[in-house]
Amino acid sequence: MTVALTGAHYSLRAFVIVLASFLVIADALIISQIYQRNIAELETFALNEAGLFARLVSQDLTRGDYSSVEHAAQNWGSSNTRISSISIITTSGFELAGYAHPTPPTHWKHFDQTITYGDNHSATIHLTVDTSHIRSFLLTLTGQLLLFSLLLALLLGYFLRRLAILPLSKEIDEHLRTEEKLSQIARELKISNQELESYSYTMAHDLRTPLRAIISFTQILKADSADKLSEEDIDHIERIYHAGQHMNALIDDLIELSRISRATLRPANCDVTEIATKLLSRHKRTDAQRQITCKVQPDMRAYGDPKMIERLLSNLIDNAWKYTRKTDKPEIQIGMTEEHGIKHFFVRDNGDGFDMQYADKLFEPFQRLHKSTEFEGTGIGLASARRVVQLHGGEIRGDAEPGKGCTITFSLTPDN
């Protein structure tokens, strides 16, 4: 937003400069028009005066009374302050009469008027008119117009700044203060999360030692004292042992979730088909007694962290493998669809499924939609899967129906 404010300042300055330039050009045009009008009026005045003088002295010129013409020229010149000089010249170049003002003007303009007299005789009146008053007027007008234009541009700039830039500046200041507060909160949250992750990770590791001792001693107790214990006592020992094993698996999953949360993505093009095939083959080797149909769509590729995508698919395939255990003809299908340029991968099974009214709990840690006596697990696997998808900027969802299986669909990045 500071860039926007700087841009607004530059735009305002540019506007004021352009406006001032436009006003100066307009002033120049106005002054030019006024000058032309004044000169036209002056020319009309000079020619009218010369015409009157010509009619006045034409009879004197016809009689050859040049002294009267001279006297008339002196009277005409001295009685009109605008006239600077008068000179009446015949066609042969002889000056019949003349007049010159005692103080020569600094600015003037010449006008000529022809006089006809006698038998086809003619002379020319050369009239010089003082234009200093026009220049003085135009200089004063120019100063006034320029001052007015400058004040107008500055006033418009000031009001525009008050109306547009100052509110924007206040908004940016408020935004920066809010941003700083949010940054401070984010830093504090980051520190808190780091401390919490470190605490959780350390606690999980520290729990392993006493947990191993509990599991080991229950096995020793059962092996060494089985003949001395009642069936109820042995059942209690078995319960302790299985609870310890469950807690150990829970710790492993928590550590795995923590690792995923703290992981740095190293995205690359990866073969989803190859990863899924490898994971299914591993399940078939470790659980060879099961007859399960596995279908993997060929040529599935994605852009993401290969190790993370393998963890994601491993959790989803583990779930599908587990929840098809009670199905007569279990089937797992891994495929992909594409919509609006985004690839949507899915892992589908025909296993136990779940009620969609609990779908909002599906990807939450420690949330299980089946009893632990029906299917083992810690409730962390799908939470880890969701975290991987979130790290890739994608989305994940589940669709199911009790007794008819489940489909987990996920996307990664828009260009996956």
pLDDT tens for the chain, residues 1 to 416:
555 546 555 666 777 787 778 888 888 888 888 888 988 888 888 888 888 888 888 888 888 888 888 898 888 888 888 888 989 898 888 888 888 888 888 888 888 888 888 778 888 989 898 888 888 888 888 888 888 888 887 887 776 666 666 665 666 677 778 888 888 887 877 776 666 667 666 666 677 777 777 778 787 877 777 677 777 877 787 788 777 776 776 777 666 666 666 667 788 888 999 999 999 898 888 888 888 888 999 999 998 888 888 888 988 888 888 878 878 888 889 999 988 888 999 999 888 777 677 666 666 655 555 454 454 555 677 787 888 888 888 888 888 878 788 888 898 875 55
The residue behind tokens 């880890």 is 384
Numbers of helices and strands, H then E, in the chain: 8, 11
**Residue 368 to residues 46, 78, 164, 360, Cα–Cα distance (Å):** 111, 120, 57, 11
pLDDT score, position 365? 59
Strand runs labelled E in 91-192: 95-100, 108-117, 121-130
Task: List every span in the chain annotated with CATH 3.30.450.
Answer: 2-138
The residue behind tokens 């493998």 is 321
Helix (H) or strand (E) holding 247: helix 231-262
Give 136: exposed, middle or buried? Use CB within 10 Å, 0-12, 13-18, 19+: exposed
CATH of 266-410 among 3.10.20.30, 3.40.50.300, 1.10.10.60, 3.30.565.10: 3.30.565.10
Helix (H) or strand (E) holding 346: strand 342-349
Alpha-helical (H) ranges within 64-79 are 66-79
Task: List every span in the chain annotated with CATH 3.30.565.10.
Answer: 266-410
Pull the structure tokens for residue 5: 């404010």
pLDDT score, position 373? 45
Q: Which residues of 202-211 are buried (b: 16+ CB within 10 A; e: fewer)?
A: eebeeeeeeb
CATH 3.30.1490 at 2-138, yes or no: no
Residue 73 · residue 84 · CB < 8 Å: no
pLDDT score, position 370? 47
Instruction: Note if the pTM is more than 0.85.
Output: no
Pull the structure tokens for residue 209: 């030692």
Residue 387 · residue 337 · CB < 8 Å: no
Pull the structure tokens for residue 328: 């007569």
